[in-house]
A and B are shown apart, each in its own frame.
Chain A
Amino acid sequence: MSFTKLTRRGLIQTGAVAGAGLALPTYLRAENHAGFTNAPTGSTVTLGFNVPQTGPYAEEGLDELRAQELAVEHLNGGGDGGMMNTFSSKALKGNGILGKKVEYVTGDTQTKSDAARASAKSMIEKDGAVMINGGSSSGVAVAVQDLCQSAGVIFMAGLTHANDTTGKDRKANGFRHFFNAYMSAAALAPVLKNAYGSERRAYHLTADYNWGWTQQESIAAATEAMGWETVENVLTPLASTDFSSYIAPVLNSGADVLVLNHYGGNMVNSLTNAVQFGLLDKEVNGKKFEIVVPLYSELMAAGAGANVQGVIGSMNWNWQLQDEGSKAFTKSFGEKYGRPPSNSAHTCYVQTLLYADAVERAGSFNPCAVVEALEGYEFDGLGNGPTLYRADDHQCFKDVLVMKGAENPTNEYDTLEIVEQTPRAQVEYAPDHPMFAGGDLGKCNPGA
């Protein structure tokens, strides 16, 4: 037996041949052949719906999933077509996307960033999802958006309201239809001034995480600009369930407004506790004490029951809107599921249609083609009036709703009423606004 002496040149040659051999099977895979991740090759295309199916936001996730299933049904030509009939773009024909039947897989975010990333990764790598949509938390949205950017698929965010999603954490492959904390504040401030006057002293309770901070920063800046004074901002742990010890000091703080920068279970409990302490029955500084909840959702308002009555907040969309798109979606959703859709359901439905429409207009599932089709895209007919997907940060700009807890609800869904539809121009801001600074979209990533 003889041994050949291994030389440096020989090692490089062997390595190159072995590397090429190992790379060959990957190269022959369809996704890379087409030049982007999970390029659909058969007669179907798979979308990934990543929503909270367990955990505290499971009801919201369930509503998102209902809307996503409805969107798939409409894209494939089923049902009454919903908003496809009112959408200003006529690219969608009800024959799937680019003639491919739409299928979907689902993941459970659990409203935890690591779980959401794991479920999105699984849908991309195992199920071949070409787009990820959904979610009910900004932490989850930022984490999944980052994953989608790396993986080379499009992320159409669900309910995410922190400024950072399209601010410092923006990504080229990510798009947000939902409004943000700045827009909530910009819409609310004039309404609050009209309702409660310009000389108010506000006490803030703020959930101690990214969304809470950006929400508090936004609403404090907007209300201070119209003359209000911020007396105190107290950060409350996200895991808090009883807010009585945070609300008790409000009584003697000299504040006459309590701003609850809380969402979900935190909002339900803090608002309930505040009402229990009789804050809404008090008179301070010669004025009636008021409570403000900057971000509302129908499902959480229902959880707070009668405590929301008369309390002002904001929403991305509401089923009571009377434009043709909103009416079509509410009818379609209501007839299928026997209940009106929530605003998180609406945003997920619209995001699915917008993705499909962008693919049709681009003529390709390539993420970079989709990004190009969505950037700077103006559309109408999907609720909230004419809407722009701004190219600079991938944030949608449209009218914002200021809401109030219904004083005399007539049925279980009649929890909130629309106070004002704030025009889009009033909630717009420059792409380099300080609250959104530090981010960079980067370049779109097609994956392979």
Chain B
Amino acid sequence: MDAILLQILNGLDKGSAYALIALGLTLIFGTLGVVNFAHGALFMIGAFCSVTLQRILTLSVETIDETKKDFLGNPLKVKTPYVEQWFGPETGQAIIDWSVPLAILFAIPVMLLIGFIMERGLIKHFYKRPHADQILVTFGLAIVLQEVVKYFYGANPIPTPAPQAFVGSFDFAPLLGLDTSLAYPYWRLVYFGFSTLIIAAVFAFLQFTTFGMVVRAGMADRETVGLLGIDIDRRFTIMFGIAAAVAGLAGVMYAPINSPNYHMGMDFLVLSFVVVVVGGMGSLPGAVLAGFLLGILESLASMNEIKSIIYGIDQIIIYVVAIVILLVRPRGLMGRRGVMEE
């Protein structure tokens, strides 16, 4: 029982990442009708926003310490971050320690800007082209973004720790009256909470603001909204920026879970597309539901008890479930009639 509960917890944070990326993908598909294969790269860029801010905050002044030697036997260059010089060692260290949460503020304008540039500079030229063209151009863009990041940051993973306050794990077992350990890392719990907050914010924005209402109307019938004199294209461009920011924020907070590397977006991309299809093309609640569902199923399938029955099930479970769901419900869990249908 405790093993199942642990895997459900695992699935929730995995599902959080899937849901956030799939939510952005669905927003872009639902508004602009574009199949964006560069969305995983946006997640990766978000994670590198954390790395970048960490590097900015650790920019240092070098002093020579004659008493210590470097690997060549020369006097050691000791680096002291500017923030420690300006604010004192304790405050400076605290600022550096909190670089990942602070990166949220840094990432929002950066990701919005990247989203606008991507949409205005490249993707808008492919609105009326077949989906295959859109996939090719966005996939190419993803590779370019990957290589740019690799050029500046290298191919190795870069450690980006969570604040010290969130190091360690919380044991749910006493709360549930269990004898065994049900420990779960604090940061993963933070990630789940953060994802839930972002998802709720996106839904609230679309549901309760005039801007959101117009966007939803545009998603349902773009031409009619245009005929009413509303510049729906401009709003959809803004939605592209918001979708990029959602993917970026998912990446920012994911950085302490697994050290960012240039390839991490691709690792999530294919699974996120499966999530979108299972949830139903164009359905925002479907993307979120499928994200959590598939995340939990993937975690449960990696249990030894299940793997011992079907070897390798943990690697294919998502695809098996996707096939079954699409056979039973061809439009996905919450798909709408007419989306991606002739």
A residues in contact (CB < 8 Å) with B: 55-59, 232, 234, 237, 239, 241-242, 244-246, 248-249, 251-252, 265, 268-269, 272-273, 276-278, 281, 299-300, 302-307, 319-320, 330-331, 334-335, 340, 410-411, 413
Which residues of chain B have C-beta atoms less than 8 A from A305's C-beta? 159, 161, 259
Interface check B185, CB cutoff 8 A: yes
Report the bound CA distance from A299 to B156 in whole Å.
Answer: 7
- Please tell me which stretch of B3-11, B119-127, B272-280 contacts chain A, meaning at least 4 of its Cβ atoms lie within 8 angstroms of it: B3-11
Report the bound CA distance from A302 to B159 in whole Å.
Answer: 8
Q: Which residue of A lies closest to B73 (CB)?
A: A331
Question: Could you tell me the distance in whole angstroms from the C-beta of A108 to the nearest C-beta in chain B?
Answer: 12
Q: Which residue of B lies closest to A233 (CB)?
A: B304
Interface check B140, CB cutoff 8 A: no
Which residues of chain A have C-beta atoms less than 8 A from B10's C-beta? 244-245, 248
Question: Could you tell me the distance in whole angstroms from the C-beta of A342 to the nearest C-beta in chain B?
Answer: 11
Contact with A along B261-276 (1 / 0, CB 8 A): 1011001000000000
**A244 & B155 in contact (Cβ 8 Å cutoff):** no
**A55 & B155 in contact (Cβ 8 Å cutoff):** yes
**A278 & B3 in contact (Cβ 8 Å cutoff):** no
Q: For the complex of A and B, list the 8 residue pairs with the smallest distance between their C-beta atoms, beginning with the closest.
A: A305-B159, A58-B155, A303-B157, A245-B302, A276-B185, A278-B169, A248-B6, A245-B299
Report the bound CA distance from A58 to B303 in whole Å.
Answer: 33
Question: Could you tell me the distance in whole angstroms from the C-beta of B175 to the nearest C-beta in chain A?
Answer: 16
**A265 & B157 in contact (Cβ 8 Å cutoff):** yes
- Say which residue of B3, B157, B259, B315 sits within 8 Å of A237 (CB atoms): B315
Known: A241-B267, A249-B303. A272 touches B158 (CB 8 A): no
**B155, B257, B258, B264 interface centre (most CB from chain A within 10 Å):** B155
Which residues of chain A have C-beta atoms less than 8 A from B259's C-beta? 268-269, 272, 303-305
Which residues of chain B have C-beta atoms less than 8 A from A241's C-beta? 258, 264, 267
**A59 & B159 in contact (Cβ 8 Å cutoff):** no
Show 22 A/B contacts (Cβ-Cβ < 8 Å), sorted by A: A58-B155, A59-B154, A59-B155, A241-B264, A241-B267, A242-B258, A244-B13, A244-B299, A245-B302, A248-B6, A251-B6, A252-B3, A268-B258, A276-B187, A277-B184, A299-B156, A303-B157, A305-B159, A305-B161, A305-B259, A307-B159, A413-B71
Q: From residue 10 to 61 of chain B, which have CB atoms closer than 8 A to chain A? A: 10-11, 13-14
Q: From residue 277 to 328 of chain B, which have CB atoms closer than 8 A to chain A? A: 298-299, 302-304, 307, 312, 314-315
Interface check B150, CB cutoff 8 A: yes
Interface check B68, CB cutoff 8 A: yes
Which residues of chain B have C-beta atoms less than 8 A from A304's C-beta? 157, 159, 259
Question: Could you tell me the distance in whole angstroms from the C-beta of B37 to the nearest C-beta in chain A?
Answer: 18
Report the bound CA distance from A19 to B13 in whole Å.
Answer: 68
Q: Which residue of B lies closest to A238 (CB)?
A: B315
Report the bound CA distance from A272 to B162 in whole Å.
Answer: 11
B residues in contact (CB < 8 Å) with A: 2-3, 6-7, 9-11, 13-14, 68, 70-72, 76, 150, 154-159, 161, 168-169, 180-181, 183-185, 187-188, 257-259, 261, 263-264, 267, 298-299, 302-304, 307, 312, 314-315
Which residues of chain A have C-beta atoms less than 8 A from B2's C-beta? 252
**A300 & B156 in contact (Cβ 8 Å cutoff):** yes
**A410 & B71 in contact (Cβ 8 Å cutoff):** no
Report the bound CA distance from A108 to B142 in whole Å.
Answer: 21
- Say which residue of A251, A269, A276, A335 sits within 8 Å of B72 (CB atoms): A335
**B188 & A244 in contact (Cβ 8 Å cutoff):** yes
Question: Could you tell me the distance in whole angstroms from the C-beta of B310 to the nearest C-beta in chain A?
Answer: 13
Report the bound CA distance from A98 to B261 in whole Å.
Answer: 44
Report the bound CA distance from A302 to B160 in whole Å.
Answer: 11
**A411 & B315 in contact (Cβ 8 Å cutoff):** no
**A276 & B181 in contact (Cβ 8 Å cutoff):** no
Report the bound CA distance from A140 to B315 in whole Å.
Answer: 23
**B70 & A411 in contact (Cβ 8 Å cutoff):** yes
**A245 & B298 in contact (Cβ 8 Å cutoff):** yes
Report the bound CA distance from A232 to B70 in whole Å.
Answer: 43
Report the bound CA distance from A249 to B259 in whole Å.
Answer: 22
Q: Which residue of B lies closest to A52 (CB)?
A: B155
Report the bound CA distance from A302 to B154 in whole Å.
Answer: 12
Which residues of chain B have C-beta atoms less than 8 A from A249's C-beta? 3, 6, 303-304
Question: Could you tell me the distance in whole angstroms from the C-beta of B292 to the nearest C-beta in chain A?
Answer: 15
Known: A268-B157, A278-B185. A242 touches B257 (CB 8 A): yes
Q: Which residue of A lies closest to B11 (CB)?
A: A245
Which residues of chain B have C-beta atoms less than 8 A from A237's C-beta? 312, 314-315
Which residues of chain A have C-beta atoms less than 8 A from B185's C-beta? 276-278
Report the bound CA distance from A242 to B302 in whole Å.
Answer: 11
Question: Could you tell me the distance in whole angstroms from the C-beta of B195 to the nearest C-beta in chain A?
Answer: 14
**A276 & B169 in contact (Cβ 8 Å cutoff):** yes
Question: Could you tell me the distance in whole angstroms from the C-beta of B217 to the nearest C-beta in chain A?
Answer: 38
- Say which residue of A239, A277, A340 sits within 8 Å of B71 (CB atoms): A340
Question: Could you tell me the distance in whole angstroms from the C-beta of B239 to the nearest C-beta in chain A?
Answer: 29
- Say which residue of B6, B11, B155, B258 sits within 8 Å of A57 (CB atoms): B155
Q: A244-B10, A330-B72 are in contact. List 14 more A-B contacts (CB 8 A).
A: A58-B150, A242-B14, A248-B7, A265-B157, A269-B157, A272-B159, A272-B258, A276-B187, A276-B257, A278-B183, A303-B159, A305-B259, A334-B71, A413-B71
Q: Which residue of A lies closest to B168 (CB)?
A: A278
**A269 & B183 in contact (Cβ 8 Å cutoff):** no
Question: Could you tell me the distance in whole angstroms from the C-beta of A48 to the nearest C-beta in chain B?
Answer: 22
Known: A245-B302, A306-B159. A410 touches B68 (CB 8 A): yes
Q: Which residue of B lies closest to A307 (CB)?
A: B159
Which residues of chain B have C-beta atoms less than 8 A from A340's C-beta? 71
Which residues of chain A have C-beta atoms less than 8 A from B158's C-beta? 303
Q: Which residue of A lies closest to B72 (CB)?
A: A334
Report the bound CA distance from A272 to B187 in whole Å.
Answer: 12
Which residues of chain A have C-beta atoms less than 8 A from B11's C-beta? 245
Q: Which residue of A lies closest to B314 (CB)?
A: A237
Which residues of chain B have C-beta atoms less than 8 A from A248's C-beta? 3, 6-7, 9-10
Which residues of chain B have C-beta atoms less than 8 A from A265's C-beta? 157, 261
Which residues of chain A have C-beta atoms less than 8 A from B6's C-beta? 248-249, 251
Q: Which residue of B lies closest to A276 (CB)?
A: B185
Question: Could you tell me the distance in whole angstroms from the C-beta of B200 to the nearest C-beta in chain A?
Answer: 24
Which residues of chain A have C-beta atoms less than 8 A from B159's C-beta? 272, 302-307
Question: Could you tell me the distance in whole angstroms from the C-beta of B277 to the nearest C-beta in chain A?
Answer: 20
Question: Could you tell me the distance in whole angstroms from the C-beta of A305 to the nearest C-beta in chain B?
Answer: 3
- Say which residue of A234, A272, A299 sits within 8 Å of B304 (CB atoms): A234
Q: Which residue of A lies closest to B268 (CB)?
A: A241
Question: Could you tell me the distance in whole angstroms from the C-beta of B5 to the nearest C-beta in chain A?
Answer: 10
Report the bound CA distance from A252 to B72 in whole Å.
Answer: 47
Which residues of chain A have C-beta atoms less than 8 A from B180's C-beta? 251-252
Report the bound CA distance from A241 to B258 in whole Å.
Answer: 8
Report the bound CA distance from A320 to B72 in whole Å.
Answer: 10
Which residues of chain B have C-beta atoms less than 8 A from A299's C-beta? 156
Which residues of chain A have C-beta atoms less than 8 A from B9's C-beta? 248
Question: Could you tell me the distance in whole angstroms from the C-beta of B19 to the nearest C-beta in chain A?
Answer: 15
- Say which residue of B13, B156, B187 sits within 8 Å of A303 (CB atoms): B156
Report the bound CA distance from A57 to B105 in whole Å.
Answer: 32
Report the bound CA distance from A248 to B169 in whole Å.
Answer: 12
